[in-house]
């Protein structure tokens, strides 16, 4: 008995019009970005009026010994001031589609171009915030790639591109705002030596975080806390997923979340033992930034004792970074369209990212609102 079958060309094929795009994580730094002086990442818009670089004025506190009945004339104190320079550069991208390909497509390819470009711009900005925290700050020095084909919006020297001398200068200048492996004794004026003192057992913990906080409070110039409340000082800590994982598994943190968090009402909905989100401990807001591990400089992957991977953790206060805008993200359109055969849409923007630092009278170039800890950061087996 003959049975009819459907020939392959006659089989029904359904093409969905609704498109699923690859996931782009939102910028987890966003709550700490703002134009106010109290922001951790300060948005500076002055260059929208023109210019390639901007001067960020910094003034240190007065430190003179008080004079009682002695002569004040001739013993006045100088105001310690410095102008930190930041540069901006351009970032552009575009999509061009010929009419012939639009005709073939079952989806609206051109309609997807603009949201894809918006996501690209957001991802670039987030990643360059991370790169700027990793970078070695250089006093009054334009970025090496400024004005090149790809530009360079990250100020300072990319960590992998920095010389050993530049890394050593930075760790020497910032001796009061770095901690290697949770032990002050691990410090060395040679950066590679200090990093090599971090062992596999020196993971991020509650004890090491509190030590970072204590040292940050003593740093000079002072690191202004993210916020003050009733005499209490609060800082924010940015950590990659590996270090955040180790902190979550720290028994002190587990005990704190078990015993000190509310259980009634929606207590379970806010407890990080059960829900994703920030850790809170002793005036510290610890935020996981997964891309910190994704963009970890190659140097760190074998920098620890026995060539283990280590990673920095950033304890930040106000004005730790400047995000300088010259041109906000702006849509652009193709003009050379070959008699309307090509359609193109693009995006352009101009900005610069820089960790703010101050040159002291002693010639030390010190981070302004940033304390850095280095810990073992093993990848998941």
- The DSSP code for 264 is S
Position 295 scores a pLDDT of: 98
Residue 285: how many CA atoms within 13 Å on its side-chain side?
Answer: 17
Sign of CA dihedral 93, 98, 99, 105: negative
Spell out the residues 6+ positions from residue 226 whose beta carbon is closer than 8 angstroms to its own: 32, 38, 40, 234, 235, 236, 285, 316, 317, 318
Residue 368, judged by CB atoms within 10 A of its CB (0-12, 13-18, 19+), counts as buried
Q: Could you tell me the residue ranges of all domains in the chain?
A: 46-58+80-376
Question: What are the φ and ψ backbone dihedral angles of 163, each rounded to 5 degrees?
Answer: -80, 160
- The DSSP code for 190 is S
Could you tell me if 184 and 157 are in contact, meaning their C-beta atoms sit under 8 angstroms apart? no
Q: How far is CA 169 from CA 134, 195, 316, 325, 368, in A?
A: 15, 14, 21, 29, 16
With vertex at residue 323, the alpha carbon angle to CA 320 and CA 324, rounded to the nearest 5 degrees, is 135
pLDDT 10s per residue in the chain (381 long)? 787 677 888 877 766 666 667 677 789 999 999 999 999 999 999 999 999 999 999 999 999 999 999 999 999 999 999 999 999 999 999 999 898 888 887 778 778 889 899 999 999 999 999 999 999 999 999 999 999 999 999 999 999 999 999 999 999 999 999 999 999 999 999 999 999 999 999 999 999 999 999 999 999 999 999 988 777 899 999 999 999 999 999 999 988 877 766 655 555 556 655 566 799 999 999 999 999 999 999 999 999 999 999 999 999 999 999 999 999 999 999 988 888 899 999 999 999 999 999 999 999 999 999 999 999 999 998
Distance CA 292, CA 313 (A): 9
Distance CA 276, CA 242 (A): 15
Residue 131's CB: how many other CB atoms inside 10 A? Answer: 19
Could you tell me if 226 and 234 are in contact, meaning their C-beta atoms sit under 8 angstroms apart? yes
Question: What are the φ and ψ backbone dihedral angles of 97, each rounded to 5 degrees?
Answer: -130, 125
């Amino acid at each position: 008995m003959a049975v009819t079958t459907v020939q392959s060309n006659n089989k029904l094929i359904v093409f969905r019009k609704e498109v699923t795009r690859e996931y782009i994580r939102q910028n987890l730094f966003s709550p700490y970005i703002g134009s106010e002086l109290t922001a951790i990442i300060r948005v500076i818009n002055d260059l929208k009026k023109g210019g390639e670089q901007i001067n960020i004025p910094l003034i240190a506190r007065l430190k003179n010994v008080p004079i009682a009945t002695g002569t004040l004339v001739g013993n006045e104190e100088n105001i310690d001031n410095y102008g930190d320079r930041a540069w901006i550069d351009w970032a552009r991208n575009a999509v061009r589609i010929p009419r012939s390909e639009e005709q073939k497509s079952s989806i609206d390819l051109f309609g997807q171009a603009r949201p894809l470009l918006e996501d690209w711009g957001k991802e670039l900005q987030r990643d360059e915030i991370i790169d700027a925290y990793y970078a070695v700050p250089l006093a009054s020095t334009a970025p090496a790639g400024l004005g090149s084909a790809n530009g360079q919006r990250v100020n300072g020297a990319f960590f992998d591109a920095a010389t050993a001398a530049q890394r050593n200068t930075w760790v020497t200048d910032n001796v009061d705002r770095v901690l290697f492996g949770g032990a002050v004794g691990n410090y060395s004026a040679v950066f590679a030596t200090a990093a090599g003192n971090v062992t596999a057992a020196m993971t991020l913990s509650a004890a090491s975080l509190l030590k970072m906080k204590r040292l940050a409070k003593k740093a000079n110039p002072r690191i202004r806390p993210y916020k003050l409340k009733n005499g209490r000082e609060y800082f924010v800590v940015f950590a990659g997923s590996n270090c955040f994982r180790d902190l979550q598994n720290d028994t002190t943190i587990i005990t704190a979340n078990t015993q000190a968090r509310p259980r009634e009402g929606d207590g379970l909905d806010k407890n990080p033992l059960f829900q994703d989100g920030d850790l809170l401990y002793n005036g510290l807001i610890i935020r996981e930034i997964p891309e910190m591990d994704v963009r970890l400089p190659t140097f760190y992957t074998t920098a620890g004792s026995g060539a283990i991977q280590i990673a920095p953790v950033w304890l930040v206060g106000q004005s730790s970074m400047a995000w300088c805008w010259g041109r906000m993200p702006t849509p652009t359109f193709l003009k050379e369209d070959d008699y309307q055969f090509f359609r193109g849409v693009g995006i352009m923007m101009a900005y610069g990212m820089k960790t703010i630092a101050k040159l002291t009278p002693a010639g030390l170039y010190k981070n302004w609102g940033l304390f850095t800890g280095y810990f073992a950061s093993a990848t998941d087996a």
